[in-house]
Structure 1
Amino acid sequence: MRHSFRIQFILLVLVCACGVYSANVTIQSDPPRNGGFVQTTPEKTVSLTCTVDNSAVAEELQWFRNGREVSLKDGNRLNTSHVCVNPVTREDNGVIFTCQLRSDATVKTSIQLDVQYPPALGDDEEMLVEEKSDTVLSCEVRAYPPVSVVWKKDDKLLDLSSSTYRTSNNGITATLSISNVKRDVHQGVYSCEANSTISGVTKKSISVTVVDRKMKFPLGPTIAGVVVVLLTIVLATISRWERIMKCFKKD
Protein backbone atom coordinates (compact mmCIF):
# COMPACT_ATOMS: atom_id res chain seq x y z
CA MET A 1 0.00 0.00 0.00
CA ARG A 2 2.78 2.39 0.95
CA HIS A 3 4.69 1.36 -2.18
CA SER A 4 1.66 2.17 -4.37
CA PHE A 5 1.25 5.61 -2.71
CA ARG A 6 4.92 6.43 -3.35
CA ILE A 7 4.58 5.49 -7.01
CA GLN A 8 1.53 7.76 -7.39
CA PHE A 9 3.34 10.62 -5.66
CA ILE A 10 6.40 10.21 -7.88
CA LEU A 11 4.23 10.13 -11.02
CA LEU A 12 2.45 13.30 -9.88
CA VAL A 13 5.78 15.08 -9.35
CA LEU A 14 7.03 13.95 -12.75
CA VAL A 15 3.86 15.10 -14.48
CA CYS A 16 4.10 18.57 -12.85
CA ALA A 17 7.80 18.83 -13.65
CA CYS A 18 7.22 17.97 -17.31
CA GLY A 19 4.61 20.72 -17.61
CA VAL A 20 1.79 18.39 -18.61
CA TYR A 21 -0.12 19.34 -15.47
CA SER A 22 -0.87 23.09 -15.54
CA ALA A 23 -3.21 25.18 -13.43
CA ASN A 24 -5.56 27.77 -14.89
CA VAL A 25 -8.20 30.17 -13.57
CA THR A 26 -11.76 30.80 -14.69
CA ILE A 27 -14.33 33.50 -13.80
CA GLN A 28 -18.05 32.87 -13.41
CA SER A 29 -20.47 35.76 -12.98
CA ASP A 30 -23.97 36.61 -11.85
CA PRO A 31 -25.58 37.77 -14.10
CA PRO A 32 -24.04 35.25 -16.51
CA ARG A 33 -21.22 36.46 -18.72
CA ASN A 34 -21.56 36.85 -22.47
CA GLY A 35 -18.12 36.05 -23.79
CA GLY A 36 -15.73 38.43 -22.07
CA PHE A 37 -18.49 40.78 -20.87
CA VAL A 38 -21.09 41.02 -18.12
CA GLN A 39 -24.06 43.12 -19.20
CA THR A 40 -25.88 45.00 -16.45
CA THR A 41 -27.51 48.31 -15.50
CA PRO A 42 -26.98 50.89 -12.71
CA GLU A 43 -28.20 50.02 -9.19
CA LYS A 44 -27.88 46.27 -9.88
CA THR A 45 -25.35 43.87 -8.30
CA VAL A 46 -22.64 41.93 -10.13
CA SER A 47 -20.95 38.96 -8.42
CA LEU A 48 -17.72 37.48 -9.79
CA THR A 49 -16.22 34.14 -8.72
CA CYS A 50 -12.70 33.11 -9.69
CA THR A 51 -11.73 29.43 -9.40
CA VAL A 52 -8.41 27.63 -9.76
CA ASP A 53 -8.66 24.60 -12.01
CA ASN A 54 -6.25 21.73 -12.57
CA SER A 55 -4.03 22.45 -9.57
CA ALA A 56 -2.53 19.83 -7.23
CA VAL A 57 -1.84 22.40 -4.50
CA ALA A 58 -3.73 25.28 -2.93
CA GLU A 59 -3.17 28.44 -4.94
CA GLU A 60 -3.57 32.01 -3.71
CA LEU A 61 -5.59 34.28 -5.98
CA GLN A 62 -5.39 38.01 -6.68
CA TRP A 63 -8.04 40.34 -8.11
CA PHE A 64 -7.33 43.56 -10.03
CA ARG A 65 -9.76 46.30 -11.04
CA ASN A 66 -8.40 48.21 -14.04
CA GLY A 67 -4.89 47.17 -13.02
CA ARG A 68 -5.21 48.10 -9.32
CA GLU A 69 -5.22 45.27 -6.81
CA VAL A 70 -8.45 44.62 -4.94
CA SER A 71 -8.14 44.07 -1.18
CA LEU A 72 -9.43 40.61 -0.23
CA LYS A 73 -10.39 39.34 3.20
CA ASP A 74 -8.78 36.29 4.79
CA GLY A 75 -10.44 33.13 3.59
CA ASN A 76 -11.26 34.68 0.22
CA ARG A 77 -7.98 33.93 -1.51
CA LEU A 78 -7.26 30.19 -1.73
CA ASN A 79 -8.47 28.30 -4.83
CA THR A 80 -11.78 30.19 -4.96
CA SER A 81 -12.27 33.95 -4.54
CA HIS A 82 -15.26 36.28 -4.85
CA VAL A 83 -15.68 40.00 -5.57
CA CYS A 84 -18.93 41.93 -5.69
CA VAL A 85 -19.90 45.23 -7.30
CA ASN A 86 -22.87 46.63 -5.38
CA PRO A 87 -24.45 48.81 -6.48
CA VAL A 88 -23.30 49.10 -10.07
CA THR A 89 -22.88 52.72 -11.22
CA ARG A 90 -22.44 54.39 -14.58
CA GLU A 91 -18.75 54.82 -13.75
CA ASP A 92 -18.36 51.02 -13.71
CA ASN A 93 -18.99 50.81 -17.45
CA GLY A 94 -15.91 49.42 -19.20
CA VAL A 95 -14.19 48.39 -15.95
CA ILE A 96 -12.03 45.27 -16.35
CA PHE A 97 -11.65 42.76 -13.51
CA THR A 98 -8.69 40.38 -13.71
CA CYS A 99 -8.08 37.29 -11.57
CA GLN A 100 -4.64 35.66 -11.46
CA LEU A 101 -2.42 33.33 -9.47
CA ARG A 102 -0.17 35.11 -6.99
CA SER A 103 2.53 32.54 -7.70
CA ASP A 104 2.35 33.01 -11.48
CA ALA A 105 0.93 36.25 -12.91
CA THR A 106 0.82 34.73 -16.40
CA VAL A 107 -2.02 32.46 -15.27
CA LYS A 108 -4.93 34.89 -15.37
CA THR A 109 -8.27 35.72 -16.94
CA SER A 110 -10.34 38.90 -17.24
CA ILE A 111 -13.92 40.06 -17.59
CA GLN A 112 -15.35 43.48 -18.47
CA LEU A 113 -18.50 45.21 -17.20
CA ASP A 114 -20.91 46.44 -19.85
CA VAL A 115 -23.14 48.90 -17.97
CA GLN A 116 -25.99 50.19 -20.11
CA TYR A 117 -27.94 53.31 -19.12
CA PRO A 118 -30.13 55.94 -20.83
CA PRO A 119 -29.40 59.68 -20.88
CA ALA A 120 -30.68 61.97 -18.12
CA LEU A 121 -31.51 65.05 -20.17
CA GLY A 122 -32.60 67.15 -17.19
CA ASP A 123 -35.78 69.05 -16.36
CA ASP A 124 -37.65 71.30 -18.78
CA GLU A 125 -36.55 74.95 -18.63
CA GLU A 126 -37.81 78.46 -19.27
CA MET A 127 -35.32 81.11 -20.37
CA LEU A 128 -35.52 84.88 -20.77
CA VAL A 129 -33.08 86.05 -23.42
CA GLU A 130 -32.35 89.65 -24.34
CA GLU A 131 -32.76 90.64 -27.97
CA LYS A 132 -29.49 90.91 -29.97
CA SER A 133 -27.64 88.86 -27.34
CA ASP A 134 -26.15 85.34 -27.60
CA THR A 135 -27.38 82.32 -25.65
CA VAL A 136 -26.69 78.58 -25.27
CA LEU A 137 -29.26 75.81 -24.71
CA SER A 138 -27.96 72.51 -23.32
CA CYS A 139 -29.01 69.01 -22.24
CA GLU A 140 -27.09 66.15 -20.65
CA VAL A 141 -26.78 63.25 -23.10
CA ARG A 142 -24.25 60.98 -21.39
CA ALA A 143 -25.43 57.41 -22.03
CA TYR A 144 -24.27 53.94 -23.00
CA PRO A 145 -24.61 53.01 -25.76
CA PRO A 146 -24.18 56.62 -26.97
CA VAL A 147 -27.28 58.39 -28.26
CA SER A 148 -28.00 60.43 -31.36
CA VAL A 149 -29.36 63.96 -30.75
CA VAL A 150 -31.60 66.24 -32.80
CA TRP A 151 -32.86 69.75 -32.00
CA LYS A 152 -36.38 70.97 -32.77
CA LYS A 153 -38.19 74.31 -32.50
CA ASP A 154 -41.95 74.30 -31.97
CA ASP A 155 -41.99 70.55 -32.75
CA LYS A 156 -40.31 71.05 -36.13
CA LEU A 157 -36.80 69.91 -36.99
CA LEU A 158 -34.53 72.92 -36.58
CA ASP A 159 -32.95 74.32 -39.75
CA LEU A 160 -29.29 74.31 -38.81
CA SER A 161 -28.24 75.89 -42.09
CA SER A 162 -28.95 79.28 -40.52
CA SER A 163 -25.77 81.05 -39.48
CA THR A 164 -27.32 81.97 -36.14
CA TYR A 165 -27.42 78.33 -34.97
CA ARG A 166 -24.49 76.12 -33.99
CA THR A 167 -24.63 72.68 -32.35
CA SER A 168 -22.08 70.58 -30.49
CA ASN A 169 -22.08 67.21 -28.73
CA ASN A 170 -19.11 65.84 -26.77
CA GLY A 171 -20.96 62.71 -25.63
CA ILE A 172 -21.75 64.27 -22.25
CA THR A 173 -23.49 67.55 -23.08
CA ALA A 174 -25.29 68.56 -26.27
CA THR A 175 -25.58 72.31 -26.88
CA LEU A 176 -27.40 74.64 -29.24
CA SER A 177 -25.82 78.09 -29.52
CA ILE A 178 -27.91 80.98 -30.83
CA SER A 179 -26.21 84.23 -31.83
CA ASN A 180 -27.80 87.68 -32.30
CA VAL A 181 -31.16 86.63 -30.88
CA LYS A 182 -34.24 88.16 -32.54
CA ARG A 183 -37.77 87.93 -31.17
CA ASP A 184 -39.51 87.20 -34.48
CA VAL A 185 -36.98 84.49 -35.42
CA HIS A 186 -35.79 82.77 -32.27
CA GLN A 187 -38.62 82.95 -29.71
CA GLY A 188 -40.35 79.62 -29.18
CA VAL A 189 -40.08 76.18 -27.55
CA TYR A 190 -36.92 74.26 -28.35
CA SER A 191 -36.48 70.56 -27.67
CA CYS A 192 -33.45 68.34 -27.37
CA GLU A 193 -34.37 64.79 -28.43
CA ALA A 194 -32.06 61.85 -27.70
CA ASN A 195 -32.56 58.52 -29.44
CA SER A 196 -31.28 55.54 -27.40
CA THR A 197 -31.15 51.95 -28.63
CA ILE A 198 -32.17 50.76 -25.14
CA SER A 199 -34.70 53.37 -24.01
CA GLY A 200 -36.04 54.91 -27.21
CA VAL A 201 -36.57 58.67 -27.60
CA THR A 202 -36.43 61.02 -24.61
CA LYS A 203 -36.97 64.78 -24.78
CA LYS A 204 -36.18 67.96 -22.88
CA SER A 205 -38.03 71.21 -23.67
CA ILE A 206 -36.58 74.70 -23.31
CA SER A 207 -38.97 77.63 -23.68
CA VAL A 208 -37.17 80.76 -24.92
CA THR A 209 -38.81 84.14 -24.44
CA VAL A 210 -37.05 87.11 -26.04
CA VAL A 211 -37.21 90.35 -24.06
CA ASP A 212 -36.13 93.92 -24.84
CA ARG A 213 -32.46 94.63 -24.40
CA LYS A 214 -31.72 96.50 -21.19
CA MET A 215 -29.50 99.54 -21.09
CA LYS A 216 -26.57 98.54 -18.95
CA PHE A 217 -25.15 101.06 -16.51
CA PRO A 218 -21.58 101.89 -17.62
CA LEU A 219 -20.03 101.00 -14.28
CA GLY A 220 -16.40 101.10 -15.40
CA PRO A 221 -16.41 104.59 -16.95
CA THR A 222 -18.52 105.91 -14.07
CA ILE A 223 -16.02 104.71 -11.47
CA ALA A 224 -13.17 106.20 -13.49
CA GLY A 225 -15.00 109.52 -13.65
CA VAL A 226 -15.62 109.55 -9.89
CA VAL A 227 -11.94 108.83 -9.22
CA VAL A 228 -10.88 111.71 -11.49
CA VAL A 229 -13.26 114.12 -9.74
CA LEU A 230 -12.02 113.09 -6.28
CA LEU A 231 -8.39 113.45 -7.31
CA THR A 232 -9.13 116.89 -8.74
CA ILE A 233 -10.76 117.96 -5.46
CA VAL A 234 -7.85 116.62 -3.41
CA LEU A 235 -5.24 118.37 -5.56
CA ALA A 236 -7.19 121.64 -5.52
CA THR A 237 -7.49 121.44 -1.72
CA ILE A 238 -3.74 120.85 -1.33
CA SER A 239 -2.91 123.74 -3.64
CA ARG A 240 -5.16 126.05 -1.61
CA TRP A 241 -4.10 124.67 1.78
CA GLU A 242 -2.11 127.76 2.81
CA ARG A 243 -5.00 130.07 2.04
CA ILE A 244 -7.39 127.85 3.99
CA MET A 245 -5.09 127.81 7.03
CA LYS A 246 -4.89 131.63 7.04
CA CYS A 247 -8.59 131.70 7.90
CA PHE A 248 -7.77 130.10 11.28
CA LYS A 249 -4.80 132.41 12.18
CA LYS A 250 -5.22 135.35 14.59
CA ASP A 251 -4.17 138.86 13.64
Structure 2
Amino acid sequence: MKVLVIILLLLCCVSPLKAVTIESCPLAIGSLLKTEVEETVTLTCKTDAGIEPSNSELQWFRNGARVNLAQENRQSRSNLCVQSVKKEDNGVVFTCQLKGDASVNGSIKFDVHYPPDLNDTKEVFVEEKDDVVLSCDVRANPPVALVWKRDGKVLDLTTGRYKATNNGITAELSIRKAERDVHQGTYVCEVTSSVYGVVSRTFTVTVEDRVLKFPVGPTIAGVVVVLCTIVLALISRRDKIIKCCKRN
Protein backbone atom coordinates (compact mmCIF):
# COMPACT_ATOMS: atom_id res chain seq x y z
CA MET A 1 0.00 0.00 0.00
CA LYS A 2 2.84 2.38 0.86
CA VAL A 3 4.56 1.61 -2.47
CA LEU A 4 1.39 2.49 -4.39
CA VAL A 5 1.09 5.82 -2.58
CA ILE A 6 4.71 6.68 -3.37
CA ILE A 7 4.19 5.89 -7.08
CA LEU A 8 1.09 8.09 -7.21
CA LEU A 9 2.97 10.96 -5.58
CA LEU A 10 5.82 10.63 -8.09
CA LEU A 11 3.39 10.67 -11.00
CA CYS A 12 1.82 13.84 -9.70
CA CYS A 13 5.22 15.52 -9.53
CA VAL A 14 6.27 14.57 -13.06
CA SER A 15 5.71 17.33 -15.63
CA PRO A 16 3.61 16.52 -18.72
CA LEU A 17 5.65 15.30 -21.69
CA LYS A 18 6.55 18.05 -24.15
CA ALA A 19 6.08 17.22 -27.80
CA VAL A 20 5.13 18.58 -31.22
CA THR A 21 3.27 16.58 -33.85
CA ILE A 22 3.14 16.98 -37.63
CA GLU A 23 0.07 16.24 -39.73
CA SER A 24 0.19 16.17 -43.51
CA CYS A 25 -1.99 16.17 -46.59
CA PRO A 26 -1.57 13.75 -48.29
CA LEU A 27 -1.19 11.53 -45.24
CA ALA A 28 2.27 10.34 -44.32
CA ILE A 29 3.14 6.80 -43.32
CA GLY A 30 5.04 7.33 -40.11
CA SER A 31 7.56 10.06 -40.94
CA LEU A 32 7.61 9.29 -44.70
CA LEU A 33 5.32 11.20 -47.05
CA LYS A 34 4.81 9.84 -50.57
CA THR A 35 3.89 12.39 -53.22
CA GLU A 36 4.43 13.16 -56.92
CA VAL A 37 5.85 15.98 -59.01
CA GLU A 38 3.54 19.02 -59.40
CA GLU A 39 1.41 18.04 -56.38
CA THR A 40 0.81 20.37 -53.42
CA VAL A 41 1.67 19.20 -49.89
CA THR A 42 0.41 20.81 -46.67
CA LEU A 43 2.20 20.27 -43.36
CA THR A 44 0.67 21.26 -40.01
CA CYS A 45 2.73 21.36 -36.82
CA LYS A 46 0.99 21.45 -33.41
CA THR A 47 2.19 21.71 -29.84
CA ASP A 48 0.85 19.27 -27.24
CA ALA A 49 -0.87 20.19 -23.96
CA GLY A 50 2.37 19.88 -22.00
CA ILE A 51 3.77 23.05 -23.60
CA GLU A 52 2.83 26.39 -22.09
CA PRO A 53 1.39 28.98 -24.52
CA SER A 54 4.17 31.44 -23.65
CA ASN A 55 6.78 28.93 -24.88
CA SER A 56 4.87 27.53 -27.86
CA GLU A 57 6.52 29.44 -30.74
CA LEU A 58 7.40 27.05 -33.57
CA GLN A 59 10.08 27.01 -36.26
CA TRP A 60 10.31 25.11 -39.56
CA PHE A 61 13.51 23.88 -41.22
CA ARG A 62 14.08 22.41 -44.68
CA ASN A 63 17.15 20.15 -44.62
CA GLY A 64 18.45 22.23 -41.72
CA ALA A 65 17.79 25.64 -43.36
CA ARG A 66 15.32 27.92 -41.60
CA VAL A 67 11.99 28.52 -43.36
CA ASN A 68 10.70 32.07 -42.89
CA LEU A 69 7.06 32.25 -41.83
CA ALA A 70 4.76 35.05 -40.71
CA GLN A 71 4.70 35.67 -36.94
CA GLU A 72 1.01 34.73 -36.67
CA ASN A 73 1.84 31.33 -38.23
CA ARG A 74 4.22 30.29 -35.46
CA GLN A 75 2.22 30.13 -32.22
CA SER A 76 1.10 26.64 -31.04
CA ARG A 77 0.07 25.72 -34.60
CA SER A 78 2.03 26.35 -37.79
CA ASN A 79 1.15 25.53 -41.40
CA LEU A 80 3.67 25.00 -44.18
CA CYS A 81 2.54 24.64 -47.80
CA VAL A 82 4.84 23.15 -50.46
CA GLN A 83 3.34 24.04 -53.82
CA SER A 84 4.21 22.26 -57.06
CA VAL A 85 6.55 19.59 -55.66
CA LYS A 86 9.72 19.14 -57.75
CA LYS A 87 12.08 16.24 -58.41
CA GLU A 88 14.66 18.01 -56.26
CA ASP A 89 12.32 17.71 -53.26
CA ASN A 90 12.83 13.94 -53.16
CA GLY A 91 14.57 13.02 -49.91
CA VAL A 92 14.07 16.47 -48.39
CA VAL A 93 13.40 16.50 -44.63
CA PHE A 94 11.11 19.13 -43.07
CA THR A 95 11.51 19.61 -39.31
CA CYS A 96 9.26 21.53 -36.92
CA GLN A 97 10.60 22.41 -33.48
CA LEU A 98 10.04 24.66 -30.50
CA LYS A 99 11.98 27.90 -30.82
CA GLY A 100 12.95 27.74 -27.16
CA ASP A 101 13.83 24.04 -27.09
CA ALA A 102 15.20 22.44 -30.27
CA SER A 103 15.03 18.98 -28.67
CA VAL A 104 11.23 19.15 -28.90
CA ASN A 105 10.73 18.50 -32.59
CA GLY A 106 9.16 16.35 -35.27
CA SER A 107 10.27 15.59 -38.84
CA ILE A 108 8.80 14.34 -42.09
CA LYS A 109 10.68 13.13 -45.17
CA PHE A 110 9.47 13.52 -48.78
CA ASP A 111 9.41 10.49 -51.09
CA VAL A 112 8.69 12.13 -54.47
CA HIS A 113 7.72 9.76 -57.29
CA TYR A 114 8.40 10.76 -60.91
CA PRO A 115 9.02 8.98 -64.23
CA PRO A 116 12.12 9.34 -66.43
CA ASP A 117 12.02 12.12 -69.01
CA LEU A 118 11.78 10.00 -72.17
CA ASN A 119 9.14 9.08 -74.83
CA ASP A 120 10.70 10.90 -77.80
CA THR A 121 12.70 10.22 -80.99
CA LYS A 122 16.07 11.59 -82.06
CA GLU A 123 17.88 11.43 -85.40
CA VAL A 124 21.61 10.81 -85.16
CA PHE A 125 24.07 11.18 -88.07
CA VAL A 126 27.62 9.92 -87.82
CA GLU A 127 30.41 9.54 -90.37
CA GLU A 128 32.02 6.15 -90.85
CA LYS A 129 34.89 5.43 -88.45
CA ASP A 130 33.70 8.17 -86.07
CA ASP A 131 32.48 7.50 -82.51
CA VAL A 132 28.92 8.27 -81.40
CA VAL A 133 27.17 8.32 -78.01
CA LEU A 134 23.43 7.79 -77.46
CA SER A 135 22.19 9.26 -74.18
CA CYS A 136 19.03 8.79 -72.06
CA ASP A 137 17.91 10.56 -68.88
CA VAL A 138 16.90 7.63 -66.65
CA ARG A 139 16.62 9.54 -63.38
CA ALA A 140 13.38 8.37 -61.74
CA ASN A 141 11.82 7.42 -58.42
CA PRO A 142 11.40 4.56 -57.87
CA PRO A 143 14.48 3.54 -59.93
CA VAL A 144 13.92 1.90 -63.31
CA ALA A 145 15.29 -1.16 -65.11
CA LEU A 146 17.05 -0.41 -68.42
CA VAL A 147 17.62 -2.36 -71.63
CA TRP A 148 19.07 -1.27 -75.00
CA LYS A 149 17.48 -2.58 -78.19
CA ARG A 150 18.41 -2.38 -81.87
CA ASP A 151 15.86 -2.92 -84.63
CA GLY A 152 13.42 -4.42 -82.13
CA LYS A 153 15.83 -6.91 -80.53
CA VAL A 154 17.79 -6.73 -77.28
CA LEU A 155 21.25 -5.45 -78.17
CA ASP A 156 24.20 -7.77 -77.63
CA LEU A 157 26.67 -5.48 -75.89
CA THR A 158 29.49 -8.02 -76.12
CA THR A 159 29.90 -7.53 -79.89
CA GLY A 160 29.98 -4.66 -82.35
CA ARG A 161 32.19 -2.28 -80.37
CA TYR A 162 29.39 -1.23 -77.99
CA LYS A 163 29.82 0.05 -74.46
CA ALA A 164 26.92 0.82 -72.07
CA THR A 165 27.10 2.88 -68.88
CA ASN A 166 24.42 3.87 -66.36
CA ASN A 167 24.95 5.98 -63.22
CA GLY A 168 21.26 6.12 -62.28
CA ILE A 169 20.88 9.58 -63.81
CA THR A 170 22.16 9.20 -67.37
CA ALA A 171 22.44 6.00 -69.40
CA GLU A 172 24.77 6.04 -72.42
CA LEU A 173 25.44 3.68 -75.30
CA SER A 174 28.79 4.33 -76.96
CA ILE A 175 29.57 3.08 -80.47
CA ARG A 176 33.25 3.12 -81.39
CA LYS A 177 34.30 3.59 -85.03
CA ALA A 178 30.83 3.33 -86.53
CA GLU A 179 30.33 1.28 -89.73
CA ARG A 180 27.25 1.43 -91.94
CA ASP A 181 26.80 -2.34 -92.31
CA VAL A 182 27.28 -2.97 -88.58
CA HIS A 183 25.82 0.00 -86.72
CA GLN A 184 23.21 1.77 -88.84
CA GLY A 185 19.67 1.19 -87.57
CA THR A 186 17.06 2.07 -84.94
CA TYR A 187 18.17 1.98 -81.32
CA VAL A 188 15.82 2.13 -78.31
CA CYS A 189 16.65 3.01 -74.72
CA GLU A 190 13.78 1.19 -72.94
CA VAL A 191 13.14 1.57 -69.22
CA THR A 192 10.58 -0.21 -67.05
CA SER A 193 9.12 1.43 -63.94
CA SER A 194 7.13 -0.40 -61.27
CA VAL A 195 4.89 2.69 -61.05
CA TYR A 196 4.83 4.24 -64.54
CA GLY A 197 5.25 1.20 -66.79
CA VAL A 198 7.45 1.16 -69.92
CA VAL A 199 8.82 4.36 -71.46
CA SER A 200 11.56 4.75 -74.04
CA ARG A 201 13.65 6.98 -76.30
CA THR A 202 14.26 6.02 -79.94
CA PHE A 203 17.42 6.89 -81.89
CA THR A 204 17.52 6.62 -85.68
CA VAL A 205 21.23 6.24 -86.43
CA THR A 206 22.44 6.95 -89.97
CA VAL A 207 26.07 6.20 -90.85
CA GLU A 208 27.26 8.51 -93.66
CA ASP A 209 30.25 8.34 -95.99
CA ARG A 210 33.33 9.91 -94.54
CA VAL A 211 33.95 13.40 -95.90
CA LEU A 212 37.54 14.44 -96.56
CA LYS A 213 37.89 17.57 -94.52
CA PHE A 214 39.81 20.46 -96.08
CA PRO A 215 42.61 21.61 -93.74
CA VAL A 216 41.57 25.28 -93.56
CA GLY A 217 44.01 26.32 -90.85
CA PRO A 218 47.22 24.99 -92.42
CA THR A 219 46.15 26.25 -95.87
CA ILE A 220 45.60 29.80 -94.63
CA ALA A 221 48.95 29.70 -92.85
CA GLY A 222 50.64 28.55 -96.08
CA VAL A 223 49.03 31.32 -98.15
CA VAL A 224 50.16 33.94 -95.62
CA VAL A 225 53.74 32.65 -95.76
CA VAL A 226 53.76 32.76 -99.58
CA LEU A 227 52.36 36.31 -99.68
CA CYS A 228 54.88 37.50 -97.10
CA THR A 229 57.73 35.95 -99.13
CA ILE A 230 56.55 37.71 -102.31
CA VAL A 231 56.23 41.06 -100.54
CA LEU A 232 59.71 40.76 -99.01
CA ALA A 233 61.17 39.81 -102.39
CA LEU A 234 59.57 42.83 -104.05
CA ILE A 235 60.88 45.13 -101.32
CA SER A 236 64.42 43.75 -101.58
CA ARG A 237 64.43 44.31 -105.38
CA ARG A 238 62.53 47.58 -105.48
CA ASP A 239 65.53 49.53 -106.91
CA LYS A 240 65.87 47.18 -109.87
CA ILE A 241 62.14 47.19 -110.43
CA ILE A 242 62.06 51.05 -110.41
CA LYS A 243 64.95 51.25 -112.93
CA CYS A 244 63.23 48.78 -115.23
CA CYS A 245 60.03 50.80 -115.05
CA LYS A 246 61.91 54.05 -115.91
CA ARG A 247 63.62 52.45 -118.94
CA ASN A 248 60.32 51.20 -120.19
1:160-218: CA deviation from partner (whole Å, max 9, x where unpaired): 01261011112222111101111111111100001111111111111111111111111
**1:94-243 equivalent positions in 2, closer than 5 A:** 94-121=91-118, 123-162=120-159, 164-243=161-240
| Aligned alpha-carbon RMSD (Å) | 1.8
Q: Is the 8 A contact 2:187 2:205 kept in 1?
A: yes
Q: 1:79 corresponds to which residue?
A: 76
Q: 1:24 corresponds to which residue?
A: 19
Q: 2:51 corresponds to which residue?
A: 55
Q: Is the 8 A contact 2:119 2:200 kept in 1?
A: no
Q: Which runs of 5+ in 1 are unaligned?
A: 1-14
Q: One-letter code of the match for 2:42?
A: S
Q: One-letter code of the match for 2:73?
A: N
Q: 1:4 corresponds to which residue?
A: none
Q: Which runs of 5+ in 2 are unaligned?
A: 1-11
Q: One-letter code of the match for 2:188?
A: S
Larger deviation: 80-89 or 122-131? Answer: 122-131
2:64 counterpart of 1:34: no
Q: Is the 8 A contact 1:122 1:140 kept in 2?
A: no
Q: One-letter code of the match for 1:36?
A: S
Q: One-letter code of the match for 1:29?
A: S
1: CA distance between counterparts of 2:204 and 2:20?
57
2: CA distance between counterparts of 1:239 and 1:171?
69
Q: One-letter code of the match for 1:93?
A: N
Question: Secondary structure at 1:75's aligned position in 2?
Answer: helix
Q: Is the 8 A contact 2:120 2:200 kept in 1?
A: no
Q: Is the 8 A contact 1:141 1:174 kept in 2?
A: yes
Query: In the comparison of the two structures, how many residue pairs are matched?
Result: 234
The alpha-carbon deviation at position 228 of structure 1 amounts to 1.5
Give the TM-score normalised by the residue count of structure 2: 0.89
2:40 counterpart of 1:45: yes
Give the TM-score normalised by the residue count of structure 1: 0.88
Q: 2:7 corresponds to which residue?
A: none
The alpha-carbon deviation at position 248 of structure 1 amounts to 7.1
The alpha-carbon deviation at position 247 of structure 1 amounts to 5.6
Identity of aligned residues (%): 56
Q: 2:65 corresponds to which residue?
A: 68
Q: One-letter code of the match for 1:155?
A: G
